[in-house]
C-alpha cells in the first residue's frame, strides 16, 4: 500500500509564525513591549565652568553642562516627553576632601543646579545620586579610614547629603553607594525633617563593574580609589541570589523603587527582581554600555539608532519600568518621530 505524503504541501506547517510578521501594521498589532519617552531617564553631568559644554573623552556625544546652561538640556528632555533627569556633578578637584564635606554643602554644584532647574522647569522630576565619590578625594563612595571604606560613618554623611539635595528641591533620592542600612537611615532623616513625600530610588543591586569607566572620567573620580577597591561594597558580578537579598532589604527600609546597575550584562537580575518583588524596577544603562555602542557605531560596525532602540527594548522585555540611559534624548527623538 502506497502511503501519501504525511505533510502535504499547503498544509504544512500548520503554524506559520511568519504570518503575523508579514506586514508592518501586523507586527505592530502583536508587539509585546513598547518603549515610550516616559520610560527614559536622562543623566546629566554638571560642571562649574560657566558658559560651556565640555566634551568627555571616553563618551563621544555626551557633555558636561555648565549650570548656567543646564536649563537648555532639561528643556529639551521635557519637550521630548522625558519625565525625569538624573544629575551628576563634576566637582572641582580643589573641593574634594577625604571626608567629602562638599557633599553636604547646601551651595554645592548639585544643589545650585537643582534650584535652577526647579525654577525653569518645575514640572520635570529631579533624581540625585547619593554617594560620596564626586566629592571624595579618595574617589570612593564612602569615607576611607585605615584603607577601609567605613560604613556607619559614611551613612551619616549620606544622610546630610540627601537632606541638602531635598531642601534644594530634589524629588527622588537615589543612593548609589551600597553601604548597609543607608536607605533606612536616609528615610528616617527625610521623614524627621518633614520630607516624607520624597521618593527613594535605591541602587539596590549595584555590581562592581568595569562598565563605569567612562563615568569616572566624566566626574573626574578615576585615578583615585585609595585603599581597597569598590569590591568591598559593590556586588560580585557572579552573584544573583544576593541581589534579591539586597532588594528585599532596601524595600524593607523604605525604598519606593529599585535600580539594577549596570544594565545589559544584568538583564537576568532585572527579570528575577521584577518577578519576585513587582516593585517599580529601573536599569542603569551605564557609561561603558554607552561607549560600547557609540564606538562601534562610530567605526561603522553597527547601525547606531537601530542598536540603541534594540538595546532599550531589551530592558522593557526584561521587566523594567524605565531605563536611565545616555541614549535618552536620541531615543526620545526617534520615538517622537514615529
Q: ∠ CA(141), CA(145), CA(151), 5° rounding? A: 50
Residue 141 binds ligand PBG, judged by CB under 6 A: yes
CB of 158 to ligand PBG, least distance (A): 11
CB of 332 to ligand PBG, least distance (A): 18
Compare residues 262 and 319 and give the one whose CB is closer to ligand PBG.
Answer: 262
Contact stretch for ligand PBG (CB under 6 A) within 73-81, 127-135, 240-248, 329-337:
127-135
Phi, psi of 255 (to 5 degrees): -70, 135
Judge whether 206 counts as a catalytic residue: yes
Site string for ligand PBG, 207-226 (x = CB under 6 A): -----x--xx----------
Residue 86 binds ligand PBG, judged by CB under 6 A: no
Residue 165 binds ligand PBG, judged by CB under 6 A: no
Instruction: Choose, by CB under 6 A, the member of 37, 136, 176, 311 that binds ligand PBG.
Output: 176
CB of 176 to ligand PBG, least distance (A): 4
Report the C-alpha gap between 85 and 74 in whole angstroms. 7
Active-site position among 206, 230, 274, 316? 206
Compare residues 129 and 253 and give the one whose CB is closer to ligand PBG.
Answer: 129
Active-site position among 78, 96, 230, 261? 261
Judge whether 261 counts as a catalytic residue: yes
By annotation, the residues acting in catalysis are 206, 261
Binding site for ligand PBG (CB under 6 A): 129, 131, 133, 141, 176-177, 212, 215-216, 230, 286-287
Amino acid at each position: 500500500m502506497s502511503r501519501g505524503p504525511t505533510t502535504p504541501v499547503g498544509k504544512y506547517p500548520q503554524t506559520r509564525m511568519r504570518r503575523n510578521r508579514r506586514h508592518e501594521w501586523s507586527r505592530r498589532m502583536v508587539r509585546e513591549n513598547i518603549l515610550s519617552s516616559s520610560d527614559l531617564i536622562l543623566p546629566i553631568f554638571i560642571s562649574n565652568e560657566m558658559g560651556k559644554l565640555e566634551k568627555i573623552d571616553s563618551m563621544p556625544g555626551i557633555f558636561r553642562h555648565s549650570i548656567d546652561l543646564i536649563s537648555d538640556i532639561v528643556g529639551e528632555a521635557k519637550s521630548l516627553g522625558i519625565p525625569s533627569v538624573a544629575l551628576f556633578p563634576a566637582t572641582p578637584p580643589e573641593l574634594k576632601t577625604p571626608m567629602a564635606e562638599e557633599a553636604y554643602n547646601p551651595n554645592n554644584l548639585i544643589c545650585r543646579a537643582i534650584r535652577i532647574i526647579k525654577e525653569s522647569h518645575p514640572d520635570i522630576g529631579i533624581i540625585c545620586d547619593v554617594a560620596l565619590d564626586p566629592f571624595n578625594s579618595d574617589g570612593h563612595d564612602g569615607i576611607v579610614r585605615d584603607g577601609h571604606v567605613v560604613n556607619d560613618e559614611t551613612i551619616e554623611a549620606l544622610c546630610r547629603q540627601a537632606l541638602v539635595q531635598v531642601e534644594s528641591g530634589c524629588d527622588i533620592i537615589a543612593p548609589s553607594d551600597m553601604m548597609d542600612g543607608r536607605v533606612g537611615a536616609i528615610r528616617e532623616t527625610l521623614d524627621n525633617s518633614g520630607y516624607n513625600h520624597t521618593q527613594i530610588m535605591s541602587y539596590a543591586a549595584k555590581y562592581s563593574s568595569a562598565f563605569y569607566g567612562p563615568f569616572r572620567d566624566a566626574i573626574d573620580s578615576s585615578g583615585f580609589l585609595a585603599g581597597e577597591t569598590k569590591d568591598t561594597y559593590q556586588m560580585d558580578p557572579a552573584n544573583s541570589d544576593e541581589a534579591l537579598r539586597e532588594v528585599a532589604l532596601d524595600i524593607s527600609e523604605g525604598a519606593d523603587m529599585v535600580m539594577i546597575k549596570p544594565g545589559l550584562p544584568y538583564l537576568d537580575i532585572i527579570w528575577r527582581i521584577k518577578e519576585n518583588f513587582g516593585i517599580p524596577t529601573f536599569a542603569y544603562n551605564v557609561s561603558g554600555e554607552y561607549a560600547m555602542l557609540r564606538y562601534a557605531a562610530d567605526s561603522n560596525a553597527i547601525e547606531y539608532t537601530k542598536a540603541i532602540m534594540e538595546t532599550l527594548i531589551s530592558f522593557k522585555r526584561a521587566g523594567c519600568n524605565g531605563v536611565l540611559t545616555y541614549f535618552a534624548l536620541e531615543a526620545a527623538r526617534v520615538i517622537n518621530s514615529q
